[in-house]
Structure formats: C-alpha cells, structure tokens
Amino acid sequence: MTFGGLTALSGVSLSLEQGSIAAVIGPNGAGKTTLFNCIFGLYRPTSGQVSFKGQSLIGQKPHRIAKLGLGRTFQNIELFAKMTTMDNLLLGRHLHMKCGVLSGSTFFRRGSKAAAEETAHRRKVEEIVDFLDLQSARNRYVGGLPYGIQKKVELGRALCMEPELLLLDEPVAGMNLEEKQDLMIWLKDIQEVLGVTLLIIEHDMRLVMEVSQQVLVLNYGQPIACGTPDEVQNHPEVLKAYLGEQDGQAVAHA
C-alpha cells in the first residue's frame, strides 16, 4: 500500500484459520491500522490480494464486506454519544434488517412483519448485553459512560453484526487492569463460544501473548516476524524494533 511516494505496507502476508485468534503488533506507525483499512475496504491496496473465504475483497465497499461476515472496531471509539447503549447495539443489526420504511410504518399492527423483526433483533442484542455484562449500562447514554465501558459497547455493537471474522483495533486501550482481565476472558469466549475468528491490533503484550495463536510483527510497513507468541517474543528483529539498538546494545525508544 503506497501513498504517493510513501510505502505504508510492503510484502505483508497473513492467512487466518477459521476459529483462531491472531494479533498484529509493532511500534507506532508500523502500518497496523493501514492493514485493517485494506482488509475492510477503506483503502484499495496498490498491489496484492485480500480475500475472505476465497472471495476477493479488493474493490468492495465496506458495507458489502460487512455483509460477507466481517466486523470491525476502531482505535478511536466510533459510537453515538447521545444514544443509549441499547440503541448503539441495535445499530449493529442494521445489516440483518429486511423491513423497509413502508413495512416499518405498520410496526404497531399486531403480528406485523416489522414488529416480529424488531423483536428478533432486540432479542439478539439482549444476548450480547448479557454476554458482555452490560446490563447496568443498557439504558444509559453512551457519552456518559466510562471509557472502558464505551470500548465494551463498541465491541458489543460489532458482535451484534454476527461476524465470522472480527477485526479489533486496540480493544483494551484506555481500560484499567480489571477491565483488561475481563476482556481477555471475553475474547476467548468470543472465539470458543461464538465461533468468531479474531484479528487483533494491540500494544498490550500480555494480552497478545495470552490469547493469540499467531502473531504478525510489522515495522515500517514490513513484516519482520510471524509465528506463535513464543517464537515472536524472543525474535531478534522484534526486540530490535521495540527496543532499538545502538553500538550493539539494546536501548529503549523515547
């Protein structure tokens, strides 16, 4: 992926197994979010291929990619602050809504198709509220919630889409230690109970090493290591990228 004369990604290759958890790590500016934007159709790669279950995603609009079964959260929270948690979660169901404006106008008629659909969507949202323990926030405006809870709401909205592959961009950023511990459990449950494949960008190395089966390390847009957490964490190029090297000695970046 190039922007004018700047190469943001080069030679990146990653394949995910269904039902696995993989992570993309690297210093700030390594190209991690750019990779997500290429996968989700926000950027069109200059060259190469992006495919999901054998179908090319190149040139597809983000809403079409979402309909194929991909979901995403963002590094910066993208919620509607003046709407409640429930309303934000219901927005995650929009891809599954079939009733249009005219059929929706008959919502209050007993037995109407729109009413039945609304009930089904709310039932799914209730499942996610229970799954992520968001009961206390369900009827509160999102803008008044603590940052860590807002991150959970954004995760919940993505899960309401029922994705097969979920891209999470720094899911524990801004969370306290207890919230991070809870999220590690939920990530494993999302994988094992819901059967969702996860691809995570994260700076919290403890979380990455705890939940991931595969880790891709980027530096200046290029892959420098890819393997299991044990293989990656002691890789000399990874240590150099994170710590730097001066006169043969590792030094921390400022």
Rounded distance, CA 49 to CA 93, Å?
Answer: 29
What is the Cα Rg of the chain in Å?
Answer: 20
Q: Are strands 55-56 and 51-52 parallel, antiparallel or unpaired?
A: antiparallel
147-160 helix and 177-192 helix, angle to the nearest 10 degrees = 10
In a domain, 195, yes or no: yes
What pLDDT, on the 0 to 100 scale, is given for residue 244?
59
What pLDDT, on the 0 to 100 scale, is given for residue 112?
58
Q: Are residues 181 and 156 in the same domain?
A: no
Q: Are residues 45 and 170 in the same domain?
A: yes
3-state SS assignment for residue 158: helix
Q: Are residues 181 and 254 in the same domain?
A: yes
Q: Are residues 88 and 60 in the same domain?
A: no
Q: Are residues 85 and 202 in the same domain?
A: no
pLDDT in tens, 165-223: 999 999 998 888 998 999 999 999 999 999 999 999 999 989 999 999 999 999 999 99
What pLDDT, on the 0 to 100 scale, is given for residue 2?
95
Q: Are residues 53 and 85 in the same domain?
A: no
pTM: 0.85
What pLDDT, on the 0 to 100 scale, is given for residue 243?
59
What pLDDT, on the 0 to 100 scale, is given for residue 108?
47
In a domain, 74, yes or no: no
In a domain, 201, yes or no: yes
Of 235, 196, 184, give the one whose Cα is nearest residue 16.
196
Largest CA distance in the chain: 77
What pLDDT, on the 0 to 100 scale, is given for residue 246?
41
152: domain range?
Answer: 80-161
Here the CATH number for the domain that contains residue 197 is 3.40.50.300
What pLDDT, on the 0 to 100 scale, is given for residue 42?
94
Q: How many domains does the chain have?
A: 2
Tell me the average confidence (pLDDT) per consecutive run of 10 residues in the chain, 254 residues long.
Answer: 94 95 93 96 95 94 94 87 93 73 44 70 91 93 92 93 95 89 93 96 92 95 94 87 52 36
Q: 215 near 207, Cβ under 8 Å?
A: no
For residue 217, give every residue at least 6 positions away whose Cβ sits within 8 Å of its Cβ, in sequence order, or none: 24, 25, 26, 223, 224, 225, 226, 232, 235, 237, 238, 241
For residue 174, give every residue at least 6 positions away whose Cβ sits within 8 Å of its Cβ, in sequence order, or none: 147, 148, 151
